[in-house]
Structure 1
Amino acid sequence: MTVTVVENPILKAVSSYTRAENPSAFLALNSGNRSFTLPGTDGVVVYRTTGRFAVQFGGPFAAPEEYDTLLDGFRRHVREQGLTHVGVQLQRDDAERYARHGFTVNQIGASWAVSLAEFTLRGTRFMQLRNKISRAHRNGLQIKEVEADACQDALAAIDGAWLSSKGAARPLEFLVGEIGGEAQQHRRLFVGTINDAPVAYISYSPVFGTRAGWMHDLSRRVPDGSPGLMEAINAHAIEVFRGEGVPWLHFGFTPFTGLDAEHELDGHSPAFQWLMHALWAEGAALYPAQTQLSYKHKWAPDATIPEYVAFDGPASLASFAHIFRACNAF
């Protein structure tokens, strides 16, 4: 996969350094994010502030030899501002470094990925998925890859119907993708229509590192539409990507999923570990993790990638809550 890199320091950082193994690293370019740099240091820290908290996205995107310097510099900056530091969507290597710096680090969930080289929807394991896809096509679904600025009205119509169906729900930010802005040229967008009416779309963000490819990111559909809309669009995109030789399709981060005691680091908080398991079992009102994971498991992912949260001090419910506040969840 080839991505044209412009002279954007965040894009340069997330596409250049091994620390960008984070499959969601491209979300660092979301509008509304803030960045921290140090003079003479090659790299960037991406974060948002909410209340008295600084919520960092991923670890520092930095040259390996300057990672610790940038982390320490940002930590000092946060403390000087009178803020509490919490990092989310850290990868395993990030988590180990944060633990060595004295943070309390726990697994918070996982991301999921499918190797596309040998991927096929043939076989009995995908029978139900194929049936849903076929039903959507029988109902007249047409799928095209489009430029976002050429279909703004279509996207707005889908977004409006989707948000209306969610009642008082807010559109999530920060840890999910977006459409528009300077970074849009690097994303890919597939839109489905039935009888020329827009019914669903999926936006894909680039993924760098050893599992390079695309991430199934922002997706929305009209309520009460044909079954199989998302599945059909994603299957279409997979065939396009496979034809281009793309090695991996990622499904992004889902909190409270993929939890495993073997993923926890020494010094983690047992109480926070218990909370994550409780939210997996009973936390649908906070986030529909089981529904999200069910969709991802339809595609038989080959890789489960644990992701972590780091607290500067003891694990804190207030810090955890402000991660969701930074995401515009409430």
Structure 2
Amino acid sequence: MTDQAFALDRPIATGVTHIDIARRSACLKQFGSHSMAFSTMQPDLAYFDMPGIGYIAYARHYGVRFALADPVCHPKHRELMLDRFLAEFPDAVFVQVSKAVVDHLHYRYGYYGTQFGSESKIDLAHWSLRGAKKQIIRTAINQARNQGIVIREGGFDHDVRKISEAWIRTRRCKNNEIRFLIRPMLIDFREGTRYFYAYLGGKAVGFVFFDPIYRDGKLVSYVPNISRSSANFKQGLWYALMAHAMEVFKEEGVAYIDLGLVPLMLAETVEPQESRLLRRVMSVIRERMDFLYNFKGLEFAKSRFQGTVEKTYCCHRNAMPGFAMFALFRLTRII
């Protein structure tokens, strides 16, 4: 249970072993029910391990430790892990965590638990393309078909780097792939991941990579963590790729799809444990700083699927954790 030397603001060390990876992988498959659980296996993170119980993944940047998502452990051990982690790192910030984590940190340690964004889950058993808001998805599917796009699943293809690099240059965060809150496209640990590609004339022009979500040792869901497409097709190709993959998962009996984080998609009601000051700042960022990240565009795209929206939170000691938020934006490469 040490602050390993491969946290993101320090050189990567070789201290991680195959035994560490195997142990965390087994834990992930048993308790990885959070949408970001698979992303805790991304490179360059540090780990707080409790062998036989679980782990917390975190990164340190500008001296601030950011715990990523809920502890990967049985729910009955969640509070124990949080207590032990805070005993060693009392000023840690927790990013994209559930209400269960918020409640424990707030009532026991006085943490603020401020909504950070929202996630959307789609029950695949009842999924269909009917409905007015899904017209844009139906249009995208038809356009892709008319243009000769062929969508199929395949293995991991390293040649997709070219599509990714071209796509990133069209984004708000040019030249840098966002990290931490989105796991890297190229990773060594890929067990359980799925890859869907869109081809035009035999050439890949877009793709969506899905990460697995587990509960009680069984795969229950996927989350689309990496998506790219040629600038010539924009978001329309993403809709077609998602619809195709969801039909495949539905036929396989996968319970649901978690569309993942929509940062700064905030409910109107402010909960008692939230920092009203931070909420106001995040609202300003969302409304006036779209040049940093396409917050509204992502919210619009995911809302077309009409999923069930759930809140996700960040937990922090101070009402206005200005430096920590700056460090998080730098860590993720948003700024």
TM-score (norm 2): 0.86
Residues 164 and 285 of structure 1: CA distance in aligned 2, closer, same or farther (over 3 Å): closer
Q: Which residue of 2 aligns with 1:63?
A: 74
Q: Which residue of 2 aligns with 1:29?
A: 41
Which amino acid letter does the alignment assign opposite residue 50 of structure 1?
H
> What is the SS of the residue equivalent to 2:190?
helix
> What is the SS of the residue equivalent to 1:15?
helix
CA distance in 1, matches of 2:145, 2:118: 32
Q: Which residue of 1 aligns with 2:136?
A: 128
Work out whether residues 140 and 239 of structure 2, in 8 Å CA contact, stay in contact via their aligned partners in 1. Answer: yes
Listed as ranges, the gaps of 5+ residues in structure 1 are 1-5
Which amino acid letter does the alignment assign opposite residue 113 of structure 2?
V
Using the TM superposition, give the Cα deviation of residue 41 of structure 1 relative to its aligned residue in structure 2, in angstroms.
6.0
> What are the superposed Cα offsets for residues 135-159 of structure 1, whole Å, 9 maximum, x if unpaired?
11111111121111xx212x02211
Using the TM superposition, give the Cα deviation of residue 280 of structure 1 relative to its aligned residue in structure 2, in angstroms.
2.7
CA distance in 1, matches of 2:234, 2:100: 42
CA distance in 1, matches of 2:92, 2:226: 27
Matching of residue 16 in structure 1 with residue 47 in structure 2: no
CA distance in 2, matches of 1:208, 1:323: 27
Q: Return the match for 2:96 from 89, 110, 114.
A: 89
> What are the superposed Cα offsets for residues 234-277 of structure 1, whole Å, 9 maximum, x if unpaired?
11101111110111111101111042325x2x342111121222
> What is the SS of the residue equivalent to 2:180?
coil
Using the TM superposition, give the Cα deviation of residue 71 of structure 1 relative to its aligned residue in structure 2, in angstroms.
1.7
Matching of residue 208 in structure 1 with residue 214 in structure 2: yes
CA distance in 2, matches of 1:44, 1:228: 38
Which amino acid letter does the alignment assign opposite residue 22 of structure 1?
H
Q: Which residue of 1 aligns with 2:145?
A: 137
Residues 37 and 307 of structure 1: CA distance in aligned 2, closer, same or farther (over 3 Å): same
> What is the SS of the residue equivalent to 2:125?
coil
Aligned length: 312
Using the TM superposition, give the Cα deviation of residue 21 of structure 1 relative to its aligned residue in structure 2, in angstroms.
3.9
> What is the SS of the residue equivalent to 1:190?
strand
Identity %: 20
Which amino acid letter does the alignment assign opposite residue 45 of structure 1?
I
Shift >4 Å, 4+ stretches? none
Which amino acid letter does the alignment assign opposite residue 26 of structure 2?
K
> What is the SS of the residue equivalent to 1:320?
helix
> What are the superposed Cα offsets for residues 41-75 of structure 1, whole Å, 9 maximum, x if unpaired?
61111000111110110132233443333222222
Matching of residue 329 in structure 1 with residue 304 in structure 2: no
TM-score (norm 1): 0.87
Work out whether residues 277 and 319 of structure 2, in 8 Å CA contact, stay in contact via their aligned partners in 1. Answer: no
Q: Return the match for 2:295 from 286, 289, 313.
A: 289
Matching of residue 108 in structure 1 with residue 108 in structure 2: no
> What is the SS of the residue equivalent to 1:208?
strand
Matching of residue 191 in structure 1 with residue 203 in structure 2: no
Which amino acid letter does the alignment assign opposite residue 319 of structure 1?
A
Compute the RMSD of aligned alpha carbons.
2.3
Work out whether residues 104 and 310 of structure 1, in 8 Å CA contact, stay in contact via their aligned partners in 2. Answer: yes
CA distance in 2, matches of 1:304, 1:8: 33
> What is the SS of the residue equivalent to 1:224?
coil
